[in-house]
Structure formats: C-alpha cells, structure tokens
Amino acid sequence: MSRKNLRIAGLLTAIFTVVLLTFALRPAEKGNTPLRQASVPGPKQEKILKKTTLSQDVTATDRLNRVDVSQHLTSLLNKAHGASFKDVSVYAEHLKQEHGHFAMLTWLDFRSNKTTTFKSDPPQGSDQENKTLQKYLKLAKSSLKNHKSYESPTFVVGQEKYYFMGQRDKEGSIGVIALINQKVLGKVADHQLKNLRLIPYPKEGKFRVESVHTDTLGELTVKTGHDNQNASHFYENEIVVRFPNGHPTQGQLQTIVADINGKEPRKLGYAYIFRSEKMSFYQLKSYFDNKWHPEYTEPHYLYLTNDTVSETNPEVITPNDLLYSTYQWNLPAIETGQGWNLNKGSKDVIVGVVDTGVQASHPDLQGKLLPGYNAVTKGSTPDDDVGHGTHVTGIIGALVNNGEGVAGISWYNKILPVKALDNSGAGTTYSVAEGIIWAADNGAKVINLSLGNYADSQFLHDAIKYAYDRDVVLVSASGNDNTERPGYPAAYPEVLAVAATNASHQRASFSNYGDYVDVAAPGESIASTYPDSQYAALSGTSMASPHVAALAALVRSLNPDLSNQEVMDLLMKNAIDLGTPGHDKYYGWGQVDIYKTLQAASGNPVPLQLWPQHVRQQLNQLKQRMGVNP
C-alpha cells in the first residue's frame, strides 16, 4: 500500500475508533438535575400570555425611551454650558437629525428670560387635545423655573402618543423641554402582533451548579435571594474524595478516570477532586462508596462572599451602557459578563444578519457594520424599514462601554447586514436564499436567521447547505406559534435551532418546540437598538437566535481553528439543561451559557467530544492537498 493510502486508512481507522468511544462514553442521564418541565398552554391561554408579553414589551420600550431621552437632554445641557447660542443651535440640530421622535425642542435661558424653540413640529388634534398639550407644556416650564425636572404622563394628540420632558442644568441658568413622539410604542405593538402571531401573518393572499438544603441535603431550587439562607451550592458533576489508605496508585487513578469518564483529578492535601463528564455527584458518590470504600466523600461546595453579590470568580464585567444594568436581564442570564473575561470578539469573524436590514446611522452601531446587501431591491442599501433587523443586530453587536443605550454580546465582531425581508417583514424563498449565499460568499463565518416558515423548501435547503459547506455556522429562530410543527430553516440539520426562554429560565409561552430544537436563549422583553436611533423591547425567538449567533462568533474569535460543526457541538454540549435531563423538545440541550462555552473553547485544542469531527476535517484537508475529492 502506498504511503498516501496508508495515511488515509489510518485516519479513517481513527475516526471509526473515536466515534465508537464517543458514543460509548456519552452520558446516558444527568442524574438528579432539578426538572423544569415545560407546559404547553392551550389556544385561549396562549393568547392571554402573548397579549401579556406584548404589553410588557410596550411598557419596557416606554421606559427605555424615557431613560434614553433623559440622557440626551442631559448631554445637550452639558454641551451647551458656556457655549455660544450658535453652538447650542448646532447641538439641537444634530439631535433633531439623529432622533426623529423629538417633535419639539424648547430652550429656556433663565438669565435673560428668553425662550427659543429650535425644533417645532407640534401635533394638531382636537381642541381638547391641544389644550392638554398646552397644559403639560406650562407645567414643564413652571417646574423648571422652580428648579425641578419634569416628566409628563403620556397623552394623545391626533392618532399618536406624546409626553413632555424637561431638565435644567446644575447651575440653574438654562433649561430644555422636549416634546417626544411615542410612535415607537405603536410600532412595537404592531410589530409584536405579527411577531407573536396574535394576528394572521402574513395576511391571506462553567459546570452546572446544584443547590441543596444545607441541613437536609435535599434538593432545593433557589428562586429568590431569600432562598439562599437555606441553600448550599456545589458543582453537580464533581466530588471530593479521601481514600482510607492514603493515596491510590497511579494505576488505580487511571481506572477511576476511565470509569467516570473524567480527567486527571486535582489533589489537595489528603483529598482528591474528581470531575466527570457523564455522572452527577450522586452517581459519583455511589460509585466511590461501592467500589473504593473511601474515608469520606462530599460535594465540591461553592463558598460565597457575605455580600449582596453572589457571583463567584471570574469577576463579572459590567459595562457602563445606560440601559444595561436595569433593562438587559438577558445578558447576565447567560453569563455574558463572566464570558467577556475570556473573549470579547474579533473584527476578523464576521456575523451575517439576514433580516429586514439595519439602520446604519444608529449611534449605538457605529463602526460595527460592514457594507451589506439588499436582496429585495437590487442596488439599494440594506436599510431597515421594519425595525426587526436593527433590533436583532443590536443584540449581537451594539457598542459596549460607550455610556449609551444597550450593550451587545460582541464587542468587536463586524456585522454584515443583508436585507432579505421587505417592509412587511416577509421575504420570498429566493430573497432569503440569495441573502444566505451572498453572506457566505462575502466573508460571514456566522449567519443569523431570525425568520422562518413551515414549508420544507429544497431551494432554501440548498442555500443552507451551500453556506454550511463553506464552514458557516447557521443559527435560526424556531418560531413563535407555540407549535410542535417543524419550522424552516431552523429544522434543517445544518442549522442550530433556537427556542426562547424568559427571565425565570422557563420556556417562553410563544416559543415553538420539537425534537429539532437544539438550544434555548433569552427571548422575552429583550432591549435592543431600534430605528430612528431609538431603543425598544421585543419578544420572540427572533430575539433568542442572535444571542446564540453572537456566542458562536465569540467562540470562532477565541478558537478560529474549530469547524462550524465543532462550534455548534460546543454550544450544545455546554448549554445549561433546563428541561428533562438531556435533550428535550422544549429547550433542546438547554439554555446557552457564554462563560461555560468559552471555557470549553479555550481549553485543549480539541475536546474529546469534538475529536471525530476534527479528524474528519483533517482528513478532508489532507485529501484536498493530495488532489482527492473529499
């Protein structure tokens, strides 16, 4: 046999051997993991829950809007301090151009008792509505004169909602009053009626931690901070063991490691800490008690500081973005702050967003966007005329630590916007397929697809395969119909299908489910960027999917040698199991965990569970170098 054939045969043998070992060592169960059974609401209950979600999104968007406006007014006052009136006019004009929801901007100089309106586009309504507007404007002026800030309730003029906000500078010499058009609330409501399928649309035509009661060691689910008084926490697949006769031999340690599917233990003093890839603490305890009769076994406990902060190492990175700490529950929920210690992304790993386009001028996306593509209107820029794509893009890559708006998951990855959906939020198979292929051909290493249908299109599947064959990680939303019916492209085997969870780590009531679901991610009332340089909270699996796409980008930034399938396997392998042990149809393998996944990606060059794919990739590369078709 030739040397070339010997090498190929050897690699094939290695693949076969490792595949057998991998399946043989695959964990059969998760032990005593607390179950979070997902319940499927009936049609009536589903409608009530979805309406509640929509209401939450509108309310959250209102809060985001008011906090953002307050910051802009404060910034305007700070810039104007000591500046000329001409400079103040420039600042006001800049604010007007960037933020179309500022309907009127009035400047008050208390030193000269002069009032100037820089931008005046007051709405016209009925006599009563106009009186209401003037009433709140007078209240705003009166409050500022009395050195108080002002914020009116929402009121209606014509067909739109408005509110006044007024602020005065620290010295008390100048003030500003803004009339804000709240059309974003209507847009969010209309968008979510479609997104959550409340109306027919389109129209016809780290290792997991276990908690136990400190006194009884009975299982305990910690739901509130108060529950912690009775709880002890430990790593669920680790155990501390002290052997009766000192230390086991090297041969005995090798036997243990093989039995528990673990790695070489850590030794400290008289005890050893063993970690298993397949056994829970309770299974490990049974194994050691029955086979090795140790002096003692106990959980590998976590000890927490007696402070209000319950996080353990590594230190959690908390960015200074205005809306992060109060409104972005979703990023701490998947350990983003810890994960940023390991990687914040790379400009060399591009994320394609095939969606409704993006607002390129949004201040929280500056420097993050590459020139994209419009598959709906050829030759046009991929501008967002819906809002969906801008929101998805912000979840992935809104600027971090810029003191403004929201924080994206990636600090540095570039985003390639592709408009494949039109101004109704829908797109043809052709435009979506073209968008996928274009993104793959133009450097995307990850593609997010927050879109779907129930038709199994071979045409679309071919586009998916085209991108997958070019080593792209494809991530897609499962859908918002609370149905088990497979949606596409999420259900294609080349795609990572994402379900949605809420702030309680439970299945979102609208989230589609099924055996094709791979992982879950936060998808309820997610704060992100929105057109007109605003911010909005939206719910849907469309919001869950970009969390996973962003994580895939971080993994590829940290370990660029991993293939697309290896990245997908890492995300699934290191998800936090939320449902029945192992894979289930509601959460897949569980909710993604950024810190745990990046830990795994930064460890040994190729983890054992990924070795078969790695060998296969090496084999294909070898064949290509030798001129053999893969």
For the domain spanning 43-185, the CATH number is 3.30.450
The arithmetic mean of pLDDT across residues 88-100, rounded, is 77
Report domain 234-301's class. Answer: alpha beta
Please check whether residue 446 is in contact with residue 553, taking contact to mean a CB–CB distance below 8 angstroms: yes
Task: Name the 3-class secondary structure at 327.
Answer: helix
Residue 282 pLDDT: 86
Which regions of 149-283 does DSSP assign to beta strands (E)? Answer: 150-151, 155-157, 160-168, 174-181, 209-213, 231-235, 238-242, 266-268, 271-275
Residue 582 pLDDT: 93
Averaged confidence pLDDT in the chain: 82
The arithmetic mean of pLDDT across residues 434-454, rounded, is 94
Domain ranges of the chain: 43-185, 234-301, 323-626
Residue 530 pLDDT: 95
- Kind and range of the H or E element at 114? strand 114-120
pLDDT of 569 above 80: yes
For residue 218, name the pLDDT band (cuts at 50, 70, 90).
low
Residue 437 pLDDT: 95
Q: Tell the residue number behind the tokens 């435009």, with chain if given.
A: 431
pLDDT in tens, 293-348: 998 888 765 433 223 333 344 678 999 999 999 999 999 999 999 999 999 999 99
Residue 222 pLDDT: 44
- pLDDT over 70 percentage in the chain: 80
Q: Choose the most confident range, by mean pLDDT, from 103-107, 180-184, 444-448.
A: 444-448
Indicate the range of 24-38, 43-57, 279-293, 419-433 predicted with least confidence.
Answer: 24-38
Q: How far apart are CA 300 and CA 310, in angstroms?
A: 17
For residue 33, name the pLDDT band (cuts at 50, 70, 90).
very low
Query: Between 46 and 131, whose confidence is greater?
Result: 131
Q: What is the DSSP string of 521-549?
A: EE-SSEEEEETTTEEEEE-SHHHHHHHHH
Q: Determine the Cα angle at 570 with ends 565 and 571, to 5°.
A: 100
pLDDT of 44 above 70: yes
**How many other CB atoms are there within 10 angstroms of residue 199's CB atom?**
9
Indicate the range of 50-54, 207-211, 533-537 predicted with least confidence.
Answer: 207-211
pLDDT in tens, 357-374: 999 999 999 999 999 999
Catalytic residues: 355, 388, 542
Residue 420 pLDDT: 92
Please check whether residue 34 is in contact with residue 578, taking contact to mean a CB–CB distance below 8 angstroms: no
Residue 472 pLDDT: 98
pLDDT of 69 above 80: yes
Residue 568 pLDDT: 98
Q: Which structure tokens are listed for 537?
A: 């909270």
Q: Choose the most confident range, by mean pLDDT, from 50-59, 120-129, 581-590, 599-608.
A: 581-590
Query: Between 206 and 475, whose confidence is greater?
Result: 475
pLDDT of 204 above 90: no
Q: How far apart are CA 28 and CA 26, in angstroms?
A: 6
pLDDT in tens, 391-436: 999 999 999 999 999 999 999 999 999 999 988 888 878 889 999 9
Q: Which residues contact 90 (CB under 8 A, 6 or more apart)?
A: none
Q: Are strands 473-477 and 495-501 parallel, antiparallel or unpaired?
A: parallel
Query: Between 323 and 86, whose confidence is greater?
Result: 323
For residue 206, name the pLDDT band (cuts at 50, 70, 90).
very low
Residue 119 pLDDT: 65
Residue 231 pLDDT: 39
CA distances from 2 to 5, 571, 623 (A): 5, 40, 14
Report domain 323-626's class. Answer: alpha beta
The arithmetic mean of pLDDT across residues 20-49, rounded, is 53
